[in-house]
Amino acid sequence: MASAARTFSRALARGATPVTSVRPSATRNAARFSLPAQTYRASWRRGYSTASEPQKSSSGMYWALGAVALAAGGTYYYMNNESFAAAQKPFVPTKEDYQKVYDEIAHLLVEKDDYDDGSYGPVLVRLAWHASGTYCKDTKTGGSNGATMRFDPESNHGANAGLKTARDFLEPVKAKFPWISYSDLWTLAGACAIQELQGPTIPWRPGRKDNDASACTPDGRLPDASKDQKHIRDIFGRMGFDDREMVALCGAHALGRAHADRSGYDGPWDFSPTVMTNEFFKLLLSEKWVNKKVRQYATVVLCLLV
């Protein structure tokens, strides 16, 4: 299981550019402007004659008012300039920001349990894998960068049937954290699902960028369940995996089930489709399998499929 998780993390990382999380500098203290208080004392002159008191000069008061106005204007300019600079500075997410996204996905997995066998987790893993599994090591196209499954024709490729459910599930998360790319969101959701379904820790990293429809990959880059081992080697070999890694990745079938309206097959892969285990491999070797129509195999006792 740990081997499968490590291999899955490699698949998610294909084409991903590592980024350095930069902590925003500490908030600068607002400048304080202070003016010395001026004391005005009335000067009284006792006169011994009826002559009028000399006229007082008001220039001092004017100077004080001018200084106050200048200080206020300077403060306003400084504060607004700081706000403008802060608004123009690009947002650099930290590890804590990504943790909030993870926590939101984990919360939704608990809150929404009305899908398939009681969890959206397996279909999130499938979304992350299908977004990553289009990678080509020779042309450096496809892969987890781009999130081009948002667009036609890739969204309608036969291998991606049913994944709109997963994409729609994550839309509220994207709305709450608009700064995260779809590419990072989908792969983080896959890692989150594996971990929350009692799987191992996935060494996920951010840095993927979204692309437009022009980067959609051609149909046929994902595995076809109706084909043989040569097809598997061709598909996974294009991504740079060896036989050991190919087998490990097939272990993801420990989660979820097949759907007749998507792949043409139907049924769970093992007895605990919402828990990440090695049961898929154990059953593959220990159970007696019989051939059914459309090249689907089922156990003699219970309805599992391979």
Q: What is the DSSP letter of 155?
A: G
Structure tokens belonging to residue 156? 């309608």
Helix (H, G, I), strand (E, B) or coil at 301: coil
Pairing of strands 289-292, 257-258: unpaired
The owner of tokens 């920001």 is 97
Q: State the Cα–Cα distance between residues 106 and 162, nearest whole angstrom.
A: 21
Decide: residue 144, CB within 10 A, 0-12 exposed, 13-18 middle, 19+ buried: buried
List of residues 6+ apart from 257 with CB closer than 8 A: 116, 117, 122, 266, 267, 268, 269, 273
> Does residue 44 carry a catalytic annotation?
no
- Helix ranges (H only) for the chain are 2-13, 59-88, 95-111, 121-132, 164-176, 182-196, 229-239, 243-250, 279-286
Catalytic residue among 129, 130, 186, 204: 130
- What amino acid is encoded at 301 in this protein? V
> Does residue 204 carry a catalytic annotation?
no
Catalytic residue among 129, 186, 204, 269: 269
CA 176 to chain centre: 11
Q: State the Cα–Cα distance between residues 299 and 27, nearest whole angstrom.
A: 64
Residues marked as catalytic: 130, 269
